[in-house]
Amino acid sequence: MNGLSKPRASTAQHLVASFLALALLLVAGSASAGGTFKLRTTSVQEVSGGWHVYCDVALARAPDIAHPTLKFLLTKTAVFERDLVDNNPKPVTNRQALLNQNPSVESLEVDFSDASGKIFTITHFDFSLTRTRGYEAGEYTIKVRTSDGVDVGSPATLTLNGENPVVDRRAMTFDAKKSGMKKVGTGIDAGAPKVDETVAAAPTNGDVTASGDAPPFLSADAFQKQPEEIHDHPKGCGCDVPGASSGASRGLLMLVTGLGLSAVAWRKRRTQAS
């Protein structure tokens, strides 16, 4: 029994030692990947539309290049609103908390070397934040991350002090009796619209009275005879023979008609006789 218990105790010790070694490796790995980040001033005053931020950045080991690119992620957590309210002639500053804001990312080259070109693990760094980049007076959470996505140190809180644009939140009042006030526009609150007196004096029986002389529908030229109407056409039955008088034409017509009737009568008698 005693001989069997010793290997069990040795196996347990080996397992504990393995877990401790793994934990040390994990801690060492996180320490080498993390480093530290610290703001030298957590509250900055605005100057000429911007804020200058000073910080210390330390890596777990010296970077491969003298100017690695680090990402500074700034998430807005509160904004300092300046509001005009009732019964107060001056703007009132209110701290408005914000949630679920997307971070603003500033990719900056950080210098870890000196004048001789030697690379260090720690550096003093400063950068600027401006309103043209979308920043305003308020509170931000800032964290630093390497280009391969490893966070450097822990997040820090940064306060940007300044005066944001004023927002008018006063209640709108309207006093028509007050001197200097004038109603404008149309609608119920603007009163009845002004009626033209000339329109009001017009007859209301529905009849329309014409005024002035209207031009005629047909011009005076429409009643003048055209040249073809002025020319005299020859009169008669329309059977005149060119070059002959009207009396000779009638006699010839009667002669032809009599000969025709005689021919018809003769043909009829011949037909009856046969």
What percent of the chain has a predicted confidence (pLDDT) above 90?
44
Q: Is the pLDDT confidence value at 96 over 70?
A: yes
- What confidence score (pLDDT) does residue 270 get? 75
- What confidence score (pLDDT) does residue 88 get? 81
**For the ranges 63-72, 190-199, 221-230, the one whose mean pLDDT is highest:** 63-72
Average pLDDT on 43-65 reads 96
- What confidence score (pLDDT) does residue 138 get? 97
pLDDT tens figures, 140-182: 999 999 999 999 999 999 999 999 999 888 887 655 565 554 5
Q: Which residue did the predictor score with more confidence, 218 or 107?
A: 107
Task: Assess contact for 71 and 110: CB atoms under 8 A.
Answer: no
* Rounded Cα gap, residues 120 and 65, in angstroms: 10
Q: Is 259 exposed, middle or buried (0-12, 13-18, 19+ CB in 10 A)?
A: exposed
Q: Is the pLDDT confidence value at 49 over 90?
A: yes
Q: Which residue has the tokens 């690695």?
A: 68
What does the buried/exposed string (b/e) look like for 225-239 if buried means 16 or more CB atoms within 10 Å of the residue's CB? Answer: eeeeeeeeeeeeeee
Q: Which domains does the chain have, with CATH numbers?
A: 34-168 (2.60.40)
* Rounded Cα gap, residues 101 and 103, in angstroms: 6
Calculate the average pLDDT of the chain.
77
Q: Which residue did the predictor score with more confidence, 252 or 5?
A: 252
- What confidence score (pLDDT) does residue 264 get? 76
- What confidence score (pLDDT) does residue 260 get? 80
- β-strand 122-130 against 36-39: which pairing, if any? unpaired
Work out the pLDDT band at 106, boundaries 50, 70, 90: very high
- β-partners of residue 76 are 140
* Rounded Cα gap, residues 117 and 122, in angstroms: 14
Q: How many residues does the chain have?
A: 274
Task: Assess contact for 136 and 147: CB atoms under 8 A.
Answer: no
Average pLDDT on 227-241 reads 55
Neighbours of 13 (CB within 10 A): 10
Q: Which residue did the predictor score with more confidence, 220 or 23?
A: 220
Question: Which residues, other chains included, contact 136 with Cβ-Cβ below 8 Å and sequence gap of 6+?
Answer: 79, 80, 160, 162, 164
Question: Which residues, other chains included, contact 139 with Cβ-Cβ below 8 Å and sequence gap of 6+?
Answer: 76, 77, 78, 79, 95, 157, 158, 159, 160
* Rounded Cα gap, residues 131 and 113, in angstroms: 31
Work out the pLDDT band at 85, boundaries 50, 70, 90: confident
Q: Which residue did the predictor score with more confidence, 271 or 242?
A: 271
Average pLDDT on 242-250 reads 57
pLDDT tens figures, 187-198: 555 555 565 665
Q: Is the pLDDT confidence value at 68 over 80?
A: yes
pLDDT tens figures, 110-151: 999 999 999 999 999 999 999 999 999 999 999 999 999 999
3-state secondary structure of 203: coil
Work out the pLDDT band at 87, boundaries 50, 70, 90: confident
